[in-house]
Structure 1
Amino acid sequence: MRVRKLTFAALAVAAGLSLTACQSDDGSPAPSDSAASNAASSGGGSSSAGANASTGSGTGSDQGSGKGTGGTGGKGTSAGTGSSGSGGSAKGSGGKCRTNDLNITAADATVGGDKERTVAVEFTNTSGHDCTVSGFAGVDLKTNSGTISAKRTGEPATPYTLKNGKSVFFGVTYPSNDTGGSGIRITGLLVTPPGETKTASLPWPGASSLPITETGATPVKVGPIGSAGQGGAS
């Protein structure tokens, strides 16, 4: 009998342990399902956050593109304003005096008692716009012995803005022929404005001849623009 009781007792204990194990196995899925559900919910939140981050990045890119376009437009407007200035054209129309811009004449300007004789050459601006002239004109005397080129004097050259309709003068000096001989007969005057290649041919208004020099050096000299007449532009 005692052996049988122990057997029943052992069976009861084994049955209890088996029931406890089953209850533990049956109860565990519920917490496991809940954890999985929470993990899934948490994963969904991460996906949503990622989508928001993606949207934010796209918006930032659009804004950056908008700013870039605005900057390009601003630069275009500034460049257009700069190129539309008319200062360069105004200066271009008032450039240096060309031969065709000038009415060129010459007159005897010798003053009694001077050791040298003088012819004053006048440049009158007939171009219709202002122009600038400075330096020395090219001057040649036509003679029966060939052409004699005038030598520049050592006077400083001053630039002049010659307004339309105004004049400026310079002098051509030469010695008087006091030798009593025929000398070198002058037949004409050639004048080329500073920096030009086109020459104006004028009648000679001064004395009819030059003395013959032993050295052969030119006795004719030309002063800078503004060196005769009224001493500058009038």
Structure 2
Amino acid sequence: MRVHKFTFAALAVAAGLTLTACQSGEDGAAQGGASSAPPGSPAASAPASPGGGSSSGGTDQSGGKNSAGTGSDGKGTAAGAGSDGTGKAGKCRTGDLEITAIDSTVGGDSDGTVAVQLKNRGGQDCTLSEYAGVDLKTSAGSLSAKRTGEHPGPVVLKKGKAVSFGVTYPLNTSGGSGVRVTGLVVTPPDETKSVTLAWPGAATLPVTEGTGSPVKVGPIGSAGQGG
């Protein structure tokens, strides 16, 4: 009887171990192969991304844009230094121009000529549009020059460069005292601030009848361009 009791006891213990092992395996399968990482760890808390990777890998930058902007050639684009915001050179201001005048009358001409030069001494290129304002100070009052009528269009004056225009006037060949010229007033195109220069031409103008001005001014560039 003792032999049979030990045999039954051994069989009972073996059966219990087998049943425990089976339950442990079934529990694991029911959990769907869950990670063994302890709760609260980074691996356990990170949700799976739709592509199979973790969403903790940073934001997607594939649609990001360069804050500096790029052109069609892939290079950065920016407005030109000293521009008006559209990429074009701004208007030349009186304060950025060095204005001088010289006598450029050619011997044998019936009219005298004064060349007025405008030099860009500013820090950037600028634009001059066609005609400057020109007035002669005389003993008979101010005399405004008339435009010759050409329309060559605006001129971009590079930094450090100069451009000239001509002022023509009749020479006093009458033998009389004429009208004495005391100064030359130049107003750059699209400006209100003027510069008064010494008159470098003939000392007098002939006395003329009528109200028209015998003094004429050419467009910017009409008297050549200097460096």
Would you say same fold, with TM above 0.5?
Answer: yes
Contact 2:100–2:117 under 8 Å retained in 1? yes
Output the CA distance in 2 between the equivalents of 1:105 and 1:215.
31
Q: Establish whether residue 232 from structure 1 lines up as the match of residue 220 from structure 2.
A: no
1:124 equivalent among 114, 119, 142: 119
Q: How does 1:64-213 map to 2 (within 5 A)?
A: 74=63, 77=65, 80-82=67-69, 85-87=77-79, 90-92=82-84, 94-213=89-208
Output the CA distance in 2 between the equivalents of 1:81 and 1:102.
34
Relative to structure 1, the CA distance from residue 90 to residue 187 in structure 2 (aligned partners, 3 Å threshold; closer, same or farther) is closer
Output the CA distance in 2 between the equivalents of 1:176 and 1:203.
18
SS in 1 for 2:91: coil
Q: How many residues align?
A: 163
Q: How does 1:211-226 map to 2 (within 5 A)?
A: 211-226=206-221
Q: State the superposition RMSD in angstroms.
A: 2.5
Which structure would you say has the larger Rg? 1
Output the CA distance in 2 between the equivalents of 1:70 and 1:145.
80
How far 1:122 moved relative to its partner?
Answer: 0.4
SS in 1 for 2:83: helix
How far 1:89 moved relative to its partner?
Answer: 5.1
Match of 1:98, as an amino acid?
Answer: R
Output the CA distance in 1 between the equivalents of 2:203 and 2:127.
33
SS in 2 for 1:87: coil
Q: How does 1:2-41 map to 2 (within 5 A)?
A: none
User: Which piece of structure 1 moves more, 125-134 or 186-195?
Assistant: 125-134
SS in 1 for 2:167: strand
SS in 2 for 1:133: strand
Match of 2:172, as an amino acid?
Answer: N
User: Which piece of structure 1 moves more, 158-167 or 95-104?
Assistant: 158-167
SS in 2 for 1:107: strand
How far 1:183 moved relative to its partner?
Answer: 1.2
What residue ranges of structure 2 are gaps of 5+ in the alignment?
Answer: 1-49, 51-58, 71-75
What residue ranges of structure 1 are gaps of 5+ in the alignment?
Answer: 1-59, 61-68
Output the CA distance in 2 between the equivalents of 1:123 and 1:138.
13
Contact 1:103–1:124 under 8 Å retained in 2? yes
Match of 1:108, as an amino acid?
Answer: D
SS in 2 for 1:100: helix
Q: What is the TM-score when the length of structure 2 is the normalising length?
A: 0.64
